[in-house]
Amino acid sequence: MMFWNMLRIEQQKLLKRTILRVELIIIGVGVLVLNTLFFAISRMDGSNPAAAQLEQTLVWPMGLVQSVGLAAGPSLGGILIVILVGAVVAQEYTWRTLQLWLSRGVPRGTFLAAKFAALLLPALLLVLTPLLLGGLVTAVFSQILLGHIPVDTVEWGRLVATTLATAYSLLPYAGLAFFLAVATRSVIVAVGGGLAYILLLEGIAVQLLTFAGGIWAEIGRYIPAGLAQGMLSIGTTTTVEVGGQAAPPIQYLEPGAAALGIALYSVAFIALSIAIFRRQDLGG
């Protein structure tokens, strides 16, 4: 009962935070701008085969899927969830709300578990926002390009599954920022460390290691970005290019194995956070 009461209170607090509202605006505006930009590009040369392919991503059902993809862990969604979690959790130390809860007899493990669980709702909102706004703008583009909105071509069950899987792909990034915030009690370190991981390690280092081949190339399959690709792309193969040279293709894990990997990352970060938090001196 204590856990659920805390979860409800923490969710209410999060929904009132300005940072969450700002991030929802950012990702909402982002999906509108990107879709509008791609639409403008596709209309520049309608006879170009590439333009025709681009148009397919701007109409239903592909437009819905592409819009949700912006919120995935390896994309803008990962960046935003790191900023949100790092800031919200680390600020608890500054505001001394941790001490208030613990003084009321709340176990430390219960407090952190409820704190992390409360972050699931903002993660889902970060995915639903581009889905709804992207769905709206691509519905308009569908009417313009096709003369109708092909509602009957949308696999609604699969779209729901993709939406939930996209939100699920954010968990390792949330877990990383959560762990850094608890371990360092610093907003700068939690947010900066999380962003450095996404932009430098996943964005650059892993792609360069792909060219080394062998076991080094396998790393990309097992980091959160690779697991998200496997889960959301149904085990597809991706080729990385650097300087115009293609690296050996990466065969991502199957969805089930990838989902398990994401769960292991998330649980590990939460467990480490709880272990550290139980030994922290919160006095003074």
Distance, CA of 90 to chain centre: 20
Look at residue 147 in the predicted model and tell me its pLDDT: 93
Alpha carbons 94 and 172: distance in angstroms, whole number: 25
Q: Which residue bears the tokens 């065969």?
A: 251
Low-confidence ranges of the chain (pLDDT < 50): 234-240, 242-244
Q: Residue 237: phi, psi to the nearest 5?
A: -105, 135
pLDDT per position as a tens digit, 48-68: 777 778 888 999 999 999 999
Number of Cα atoms under 13 Å in the Cβ half of residue 222 = 6
Positive or negative torsion for Cα 243, 248, 254, 258: negative
pTM assigned to the model = 0.92
Alpha carbons 224 and 220: distance in angstroms, whole number: 9
pLDDT per position as a tens digit, 222-234: 999 989 989 997 4
* 3-class state of residue 213 by DSSP: coil
Alpha carbons 91 and 114: distance in angstroms, whole number: 16
What is the Rg, in whole angstroms, of the alpha carbon atoms belonging to the chain?
21
Contact 138, 55 (CB under 8 A): no
Burial of residue 105 (CB within 10 Å: 0-12, 13-18, 19+) is exposed
Max distance between CA atoms of the chain, in angstroms, equals 69
Domain ranges of the chain: 2-279
**Helices 255-279, 171-184: inter-axial angle, 10-degree rounding:** 10
Distance, CA of 233 to chain centre: 15
Look at residue 47 in the predicted model and tell me its pLDDT: 66
Residues present in the chain in total: 284
Beta bridge partners of 237: 251
Kindly give the pairing relationship between strand 241-242 and strand 245-246: antiparallel
Q: Which residues contact 272 (CB under 8 A, 6 or more apart)?
A: 179, 183
Look at residue 126 in the predicted model and tell me its pLDDT: 98
